[in-house]
Structure 1
């Protein structure tokens, strides 16, 4: 796909209502919205408000009672339901992988249903695994039970994207993993979106996640009533009512850090790096010559893997086991909030990675503090005016 080319399509919901038999009130009542092509729109609201029901009506996992849904200008209700679901990627919480299929077989499901030939499927599986950061040689023949929660979610996203659908629906896909893994998966989604530019509808009950991921956020109330549909910046600055303000919560000014990305600030390039196969003795000599105390070890694909202190190199037999493995890495897509949390966990500067996980520089606490101070000055200036 050419740079900046949008592969997603516009979705429009017009007066969509869902009533379940035997209930007086509709689950979703007269819902209308345009989801722009190539953007991430996040539905956020309390449990039971109808946000998942609304999203599932887009691919007709739930059939609407009335109203109209168009995808790329085509009436979704006129398309065979199975065919529609093959055109719309779908990723859910806890990945929903087939337990007796390998990773490659899970990713190949929809291309197989579409009748792709074996070579095209195999090529696509490898491409998708590489795209979500899973080495095919290590992971393609594993079963879901042999994966961590974060790895399962990556496979789930790869499966949802395997047939290159223009639309991706994501139903709280990162809700069941730990906070660090969740942050990494959010970064991964943003990285993928800069490359793929799909139309993504994402459901969450976590407003911070909505602010981080959404080009636009729809704050939904009971029966999927749209309380506010706007950019994260506008919702943080001007909540439409008290209910939306409750979602924004305290510390709205600090939440501005979730609007700024690591790519928006200057990275440091002063850390000494070494490739994992280098001799510890040679690396120690480099540190002494440069008057530095730490080296950042990169793997064969220039991905950061370990910090090693000068004194640890005297007895180390290999850089692969020396020092300590990195616990927290941030990407160019990470928010400054993520970066700040990672620095507090690591106790100092944190490595930053690029589009394929390669080392891009480090981000330091002074940089984030200076950005917070500037935000505060700008905010005070706006108030004074």
Structure 2
């Protein structure tokens, strides 16, 4: 909990952060979003005292953060930054082991934890533990940065624009990975970004910040999209509010389509039978690991002897954690009016079509119209922002006893 937190720097007339008060529920992802220079990173860094507040109170699980030794405080709060911030002279294993080593874990426990963390973020331990950061791609380095932040199992994780330095496709994959991890781990996460779409995708709640970290609106993504508090917040939402609605639903939330599938080593006659006589019928070719690799149409099979060279590459796929907006973007980049959906290990799950997306938008609109009608009848909610539980379906709740900054 932050209560009347202020940060003043010597020689500056105005405070960098002025009178910020908010409660961050345990087990939720709270995203600070705002323009560059508004103070969102400064506010977040005061939680673990990388920046000391000038005045005000920050409490974690009911205890004042200012009463805790700063080093001890930081060892119990994970921290992930842009471009990972890995130590270049250390191996990946040594980077991940940094905090567990500082808090006195035994060597065997650290080695087991390193492998566990690498596996958790989708990097094979045998392949990556002995490498150096320079030998990894930007996305892989960022995964290691998250693994390092989680290595000592902190209840709170601070993330300062961690995916801002990678390409859009890798960024979407990292966002999906974070949501998957959060569904398993249920951490309290404070995430800083200037990208409102990223905030909507990741956040259980969003704090839209103005100058000096003034809280312009603190609410669920659904509520902010439906009812921006003022013109500034509406500017963040942007003209594409309807498109942003697609960020509220995941691929797993909609009914996927299941066209015929076949493996590359299967007989051509098998998929011919599945597709039937229509020349425009289509299906999905899978590799030996059940990953989708190509779309195939009935007319392309007329003179085919095997399935290794027929069809069109599927290209970009989305995961079950991806939003419907991700699915739309992948669909627009592809050659089919559908996009393939994969599970945690890249295995084929189904497809989301343009018809699915149109139906989802219509359902969201109807739901919002119904909610708007109900709110007009019932009057405004006096209890402040909230909903039945986090969007990521965690087992933990705000009453679970986990720390609340």
Tell me the TM-score normalized by structure 1.
Answer: 0.87
Per the TM alignment, residue 294 of structure 1 is displaced from its structure 2 partner at its CA by 4.7
Evaluate the alpha carbon distance shift between residue 92 and residue 283 of structure 1 in structure 2; reply closer, same or farther with a 3 A threshold: farther
Task: Judge conservation of contact 2:261–2:271 (CA < 8 Å) in 1.
Answer: yes
1: CA distance, partners of 2:12 / 2:369: 51
Structure 2 residue aligned with 1:196:
185
Higher RCO (CA < 8 A, seq sep 6+)? 2
Alignment of 1:168-247 (within 5 A): 168-247=157-236
1: CA distance, partners of 2:140 / 2:72: 28
Task: For residues 157-203 of structure 1, give each alpha carbon's deviation from its aligned partner in whole angstroms, at most 9, with x where no partner exists.
Answer: 11111111000000001111111111111111111111111000000
2: CA distance, partners of 1:287 / 1:67: 67
Evaluate the alpha carbon distance shift between residue 36 and residue 299 of structure 1 in structure 2; reply closer, same or farther with a 3 A threshold: farther
Aligned length: 364
- 1:267 lines up with 2:251 in the alignment: no
Structure 2 residue aligned with 1:327:
315
Alignment of 1:1-385 (within 5 A): 12-274=1-263, 280-291=264-275, 294-298=283-287, 300=289, 302=290, 304=291, 306-307=293-294, 309=296, 314=305, 327-348=315-336, 349-377=338-366
Per the TM alignment, residue 382 of structure 1 is displaced from its structure 2 partner at its CA by 7.1
Evaluate the alpha carbon distance shift between residue 199 and residue 381 of structure 1 in structure 2; reply closer, same or farther with a 3 A threshold: closer
Matched residue SS, 2:163:
coil
2: CA distance, partners of 1:74 / 1:358: 45
Evaluate the alpha carbon distance shift between residue 281 and residue 212 of structure 1 in structure 2; reply closer, same or farther with a 3 A threshold: closer
2: CA distance, partners of 1:281 / 1:233: 46
2: CA distance, partners of 1:66 / 1:174: 31
Task: Judge conservation of contact 1:219–1:229 (CA < 8 Å) in 2.
Answer: yes
Task: For residues 194-242 of structure 1, give each alpha carbon's deviation from its aligned partner in whole angstroms, at most 9, with x where no partner exists.
Answer: 1111000000111111111111110111111111111111111111111
Tell me the TM-score normalized by structure 2.
Answer: 0.83
Evaluate the alpha carbon distance shift between residue 299 and residue 82 of structure 1 in structure 2; reply closer, same or farther with a 3 A threshold: farther
Runs (5+) with no aligned partner, structure 1: 1-11, 275-279
2: CA distance, partners of 1:186 / 1:169: 15
2: CA distance, partners of 1:111 / 1:162: 7
